[in-house]
Structures are given as structure tokens and as C-alpha cells.
Amino acid sequence: MSESAVVTRSSSSAIIDQFGRRLTYLRVSLTDVCNLRCVYCMPEDMTFRPRRELMSDAEIIAIVRMMAALGIDKIRLTGGEPTVRPNVVEIVRQIARIEGIRDITMTTNALLLAQLAEPLARAGLDRVNISLDTLDPGKFKFITRWGDLNKVLAGVEAAEAAGLQPIKLNAVVTRGFNDGEVVDLARLTLDRAWQIRFIELMPFGSEADFAQSAVVRSSETRRRIEAALGPLTEIPGSDPRDPARPYRLAGARGSIGFISSVSEPFCGSCNRLRLTADGKLRLCLLRDGEYDILTPLRAGASISRIQQEILDAAYFKPWGHRLPDGDVPQSRLMSQIGG
Ligand code: SAM
Ligand code: SF4
């Protein structure tokens, strides 16, 4: 659908935007804090928000419940690093009990999954996406500034053993850091039933210049993989709302996808809203518009009033980023949104 095809506001309680997109997927950032400092995501001396500014456990549950009543049925927990949030297992357990929520996933760096995968799965987590940019321990330490690759690999194993499947691995391709590693990562799919997704680097705030100079387009990543490992064949029947269409190498057990938010935005199929750790509803990853939900909640506004504000705000979910015009999201870094 084009930007001009604006539909009239729906009178139903489903969350439908001005372009007729039905929004059913909420990504919730549990914290802006992280136990790593990936070079493309945040500076080494990052300052985190004071605890009192973040949603409490009860506030997260209350907002998810209100949104589930408006048709949100899929939740992704993210961060910063969601596993460093105290009570993360209990938060999952409570979200899993909310009527209407049918799918709970998490994006994590996996450092703490060796301990947490099993309790999270028992609490109701369905799957995890694990960030893994390289299989080289030295490069991993360099990209994350101090991370231990062995802990991540142990986390991947623990997630698999706990049944958090299919395992999806996210690799942000960064020129000069890991663009030479994409073939090794893609090769993993030959023996493992994992989905490896190569993500284009996106610019945010103070880290934007770096991201713009180091971005590698998906077309280049794909060419590099095919030159080394042979043609990728599209796997039919995938979910059209998944930003990464899946491909397979000949004889591979797993699949490969490309998330091309910069070069090929997937706005037509976008069904997402984001809730930042400080309780703002963010309508688009790459546009700055946000609506404060936490302040009215703390001020005692009624559920129906907050729900109406969510419907009104979400109606104006934008279409398309404006990166080619130099319009880069400034209000937050990726770690403060959650991806
Ligand atoms: N800490 C968790 C992790 O790394 O998986 C969850 C939060 S992290 C912000 C979510 C995803 O965003 C990760 O896959 C990460 O690699 C990716 N990411 C971070 N900064 C990015 C950027 N500037 N452009 C594209 N992806 C980015
Ligand atoms: Fe932390 Fe994830 Fe950002 Fe890396 S990408 S610094 S693990 S929030």
C-alpha cells in the first residue's frame, strides 16, 4: 500500500493505523542497561537512566495487559539487555498469563542464558533471537568491547536444550569489523537448524556517523555468501510479516535471512509497536515520534483513557524512514529502543 492510501480511523478497538496496518506485535524494552557495549550500539561510557524513570514490573504488566485487550498478541522482550533486568523470569511468567498473548520471544546477547534459558522457557518464553556478529573470539571481544564468545555459545546451547526454538541468530554486518565473517556465519546453517539473519547497520543519535560509514547493504552480504557457498534459494510459505525472507543453501539444515531496514524498508508489512523501558510508545524504529504512557498511568488515568491514547497515538504510525534525506533518529540510541 502506498503512503497516499490512507484509510479512515477504525471505530473498533483493534490498533489500526492511518495506512490500514493492523498492529499486533509489541516489543518491550525491559531496561536500557547492558552487560556489553557493542561498538555500533552505544559508547563505552554510556550513562543509563535512573531506576525510578523505568517502568516497574507491575507497570510493564499493566501496559501489556491493556494492549493485549487492544489486539496485541505477540510480545518480544528486549533491552538494553533484557536478561539483566531483575525478575525477568517472573515478568515472563506474568506476561504468559495475560489473555490474548500467544507468543513471547526475547532478543538477547545470550551471556546469561546458560543460567536463564531453562527458567525462562518454563515461565513461558517461546523463543530467543541471539545476537552473534562473529565466530572469532578476538573479534567478538573487540566488537562488544569485553564480551566472552564462549559464554554466548554456551547460551545458544542452553537455549536449544531448553526448547527455545527455532534458534535465530542476528548478526549486524559492520564494515571493517565483521563483514569478512559473514561466510563463516552462513556456513553454520549447513549443519545446524538455526536461522541466521544478517542485519543492516542503522544510524542513531551520537553513533550515527559510525553507522553510516560502516553500513553494508544486504545485497553485498548476499553476494559474498553466494560467491563462497553457492546460490541461496528462497524458502516458500514464510510469514509475510517477518522482515527477513528466509533462504537456504543447498543441503542446509538451517536458513539465512537479510533484514534490510536501510536499503529495503518493509513498512507495508510492519505490524510493530515498541514500548521503551521508560514507558514511551515508539511508533517506528527509525523515526523519533513517541507517546508517553507511563506518566498518565502513574497519574492514575483510567485504563480506558490510556487505551484510547494508545489507539490515537498508534493511528499516526509513520511510513518509511528518511535516512537518504539526512533525517536520522536522534532521541535515542538503539540500546534505548531495543531493536
Ligand atoms: N542486548 C540485546 C541484543 O544485543 O540482542 C537486545 C537489544 S539490541 C539493541 C537488539 C538488536 O539490535 C541486536 O541484534 C543488536 O545487534 C542490534 N543493533 C544494535 N545496534 C544496532 C544498529 N545501530 N543497527 C542495527 N542493529 C543494531
Ligand atoms: Fe548491549 Fe545488545 Fe547493544 Fe550489544 S547490541 S551493546 S548487547 S544492547
What is the tens place of the pLDDT at every residue in 273-289?
999 999 999 999 999 99
Tell me the three cell numbers of residue 67.
Answer: 494492549
Q: How far apart are CA 129 and CA 8, in angstroms?
A: 36
- Give the closest residue to 285 by CA, choosing from 274, 297, 300, 299: 274
Would the CB of 128 count as within 6 Å of ligand 2?
no
CA 208 to chain centre: 18
Give the mutation target among 30, 38, 106, 337 for probing the ligand 2 site: most ligand atoms within 8 A of CB: 38
Question: Between β-strands 280-282 and 247-249, what pairing exists: parallel, antiparallel or unpaired?
Answer: unpaired
Structure confidence at residue 7 (pLDDT): 36
Would the CB of 182 count as within 6 Å of ligand 1?
no
pTM: 0.95
* Cβ proximity of 262 and 15 under 8 Å: no
Would the CB of 215 count as within 6 Å of ligand 1?
no
Scanning the chain, the segments in alpha helix (DSSP H) are 57-68, 88-96, 113-123, 137-144, 149-161, 182-191, 208-214, 218-229, 294-298, 303-315
**How would you label 154-191 residue by residue, b for 16+ Cβ within 10 Å and e otherwise?**
bbbebbbebebbebbbbbbbbeebbeebbeebbbbbee
Q: How far apart are CA 28 and CA 30, in angstroms?
A: 6
Which residues of the chain have a pLDDT value below 70? 1-12
Question: Between β-strands 290-292 and 280-282, what pairing exists: parallel, antiparallel or unpaired?
Answer: antiparallel
Distance between Cα 81 and ligand 2 center (Å): 6
Indicate the Cα dihedral angle 250, 186, 236, 159, nearest 10°.
120
Structure confidence at residue 4 (pLDDT): 36
Q: How far apart are CA 292 and CA 288, in angstroms?
A: 13
The DSSP line for 200-269 is E----GGGHHHHHHHB--HHHHHHHHHHHH--EEEPTT--TT-SS--EEETT-SSEEEEE-TTTS--GGG
* Cβ proximity of 262 and 322 under 8 Å: no
What ligand is nearest to the CA atom of residue 43?
A: 2
What ligand is nearest to the CA atom of residue 78?
A: 1
What ligand is nearest to the CA atom of residue 107?
A: 1
What ligand is nearest to the CA atom of residue 201?
A: 1
* Cβ proximity of 278 and 60 under 8 Å: no
Phi-psi region of 176 (alpha: psi -120 to 50; beta: other; left: phi over 0): left
Q: How far apart are CA 126 and CA 27, in angstroms?
A: 14
Would you list the domain boundaries of the chain? 15-336
Q: How far apart are CA 285 and CA 273, in angstroms?
A: 9
Structure confidence at residue 219 (pLDDT): 97
Would the CB of 81 count as within 6 Å of ligand 1?
yes
Would the CB of 80 count as within 6 Å of ligand 2?
yes
Structure confidence at residue 295 (pLDDT): 98
Would the CB of 328 count as within 6 Å of ligand 1?
no
The architecture that CATH gives domain 15-336 is Alpha-Beta Barrel (3.20)
Distance between Cα 41 and ligand 1 center (Å): 7
Give the mutation target among 81, 106, 132 for probing the ligand 2 site: most ligand atoms within 8 A of CB: 81
Structure confidence at residue 9 (pLDDT): 38
Tell me the three cell numbers of residue 321.
Answer: 524512514
Structure confidence at residue 2 (pLDDT): 38
Neighbours of 152 (CB within 10 A): 26
**Which residue is associated with the grid cell 534490510?**
260
Question: Which residues partner with 29 through β-bridges?
Answer: 78
Would the CB of 170 count as within 6 Å of ligand 1?
yes
| End-to-end Cα distance, the chain | 24
